């Protein structure tokens, strides 16, 4: 279930207003099994304990776990995705269900200049596994981008590729880009056809 963009109230004031997202999108995913990991004493780092954002920025929290989680001022029920646009400056502090005995502090700053989405890839023309030329900037999106480096001779890499592929197929907020190191296109295509490990975008380091 996708929750609509919420109404944002300013800290310590009474005005309520709807603000459209105009800045950076911060996306966080609470994976299935997070609560069990916390109960086992594991440290689960999903959101920074101290987060700085600007007015107009958007935060998206996807809860894939089977219980409700609290993150600072937000409560995200199991299976839901929360979208929130920051409308007013201030400092917000709250508990977090997967950070025991710790607070999450969010500082909302003024929007001093136009902000754009965070881009990992620059605009570089590269060859993909099919021999076509692609622009790496096309891989930029609101999804969590996982970049894996691999070669056909690397046994751990070969084991990892299908696992990453399954993970991306099961998580709509994640995309995979495989960067091959040192192999030629025919070898990579043959490996992909035999092992079905290259269904994600695959490009070459050259």
Task: State how far the Cα of 44 lies from the Cα of 125, in Å rounded to an integer.
Answer: 37
* Range 75-82 average pLDDT: 92
Look at residue 170 in the predicted model and tell me its pLDDT.
81
Among 74, 109, 144, the domain-final residue is 109
Range of the domain at 46: 8-109
The chain-wide mean pLDDT, for the chain, equals 75
Report the Cα–Cα distance between both ends of the chain, in Å, rounded. Answer: 42
Q: What is the pLDDT of residue 11?
A: 36
Q: Quick check: 77 pLDDT over 90? A: yes
Lowest-pLDDT choice from 1-10, 80-89, 100-109, 144-153: 1-10
Clarify whether residues 66 and 138 are in a common domain: no
Give residue-wise pLDDT tens across range 1-59: 333 333 333 333 333 334 455 668 888 899 899 888 888 888 777 888 888 888 888 89
- 162 and 101 in one domain? no
Query: Which residues have a Cβ under 8 Å from the Cβ of 136 and sit 6 or more positions away?
Result: 121, 122, 123, 124, 125, 126, 203
Residues in the chain: 206
Same domain, 23 and 94: yes
The answer to whether 20 and 85 are in contact (CB under 8 A) is: yes
Give the pLDDT mean for 54-78. Answer: 90
What pLDDT is stored for residue 65 in this prediction?
92
Asked if 14 and 43 sit in the same domain, the reply is yes
Look at 82-86, 187-191, 196-200 and tell me which has the smallest mean pLDDT: 196-200
Name the domain boundary from 81, 109, 137: 109
- 114 falls within a domain: no
Least confident of 60-69, 124-133, 160-169: 124-133
What is the reported pLDDT for 140? 66
What pLDDT, on a 0 to 100 scale, did the predictor assign at position 37? 86
Amino acid 114: pLDDT = 53
- Same-domain pairing of 37 and 104: yes
In this prediction, residue 113 carries a pLDDT of 58
Picking from 109, 140, 171, the residue at the C-terminal end of a domain is: 109
pTM as predicted: 0.47
* Cβ atoms within 10 Å of 11's Cβ, excluding its own: 12
Beta bridge partners of residue 76, listed in sequence order: 69
- pLDDT tier for residue 166 given thresholds of 50, 70 and 90: confident
Tens-place pLDDT, residues 135-151: 776 776 667 777 888 88
Q: What pLDDT, on a 0 to 100 scale, did the predictor assign at position 123?
A: 67
| Residue 78 pLDDT grade (very low, low, confident, very high; cuts 50, 70, 90) | very high
């Amino acid at each position: 279930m996708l929750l609509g963009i919420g109404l944002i109230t300013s800290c310590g004031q009474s005005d309520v207003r709807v603000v459209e997202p105009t800045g950076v999108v911060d996306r966080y995913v609470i994976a299935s099994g997070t609560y069990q990991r916390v109960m086992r004493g594991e440290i689960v780092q999903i959101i920074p304990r101290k987060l700085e954002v600007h007015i107009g920025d958007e935060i998206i929290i996807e809860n894939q776990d089977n219980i409700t989680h609290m993150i600072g001022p937000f409560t995200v029920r199991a299976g839901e995705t929360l979208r929130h646009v920051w409308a007013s400056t201030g400092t917000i502090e709250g508990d977090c269900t997967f950070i025991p005995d710790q607070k999450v502090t969010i500082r909302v700053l003024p929007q001093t200049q136009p902000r754009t989405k965070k881009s990992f890839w620059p605009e570089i023309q590269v060859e993909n596994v099919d021999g076509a030329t692609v622009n790496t900037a096309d891989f930029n999106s609101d999804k969590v981008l996982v970049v894996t480096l691999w070669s056909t001779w690397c046994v751990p890499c070969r084991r990892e590729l299908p696992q990453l592929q399954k993970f991306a197929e099961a998580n709509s907020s994640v995309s995979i880009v495989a960067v091959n190191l040192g192999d030629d296109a025919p070898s990579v295509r043959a490996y992909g056809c035999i092992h079905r490990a290259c269904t994600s975008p695959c490009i070459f380091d050259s």
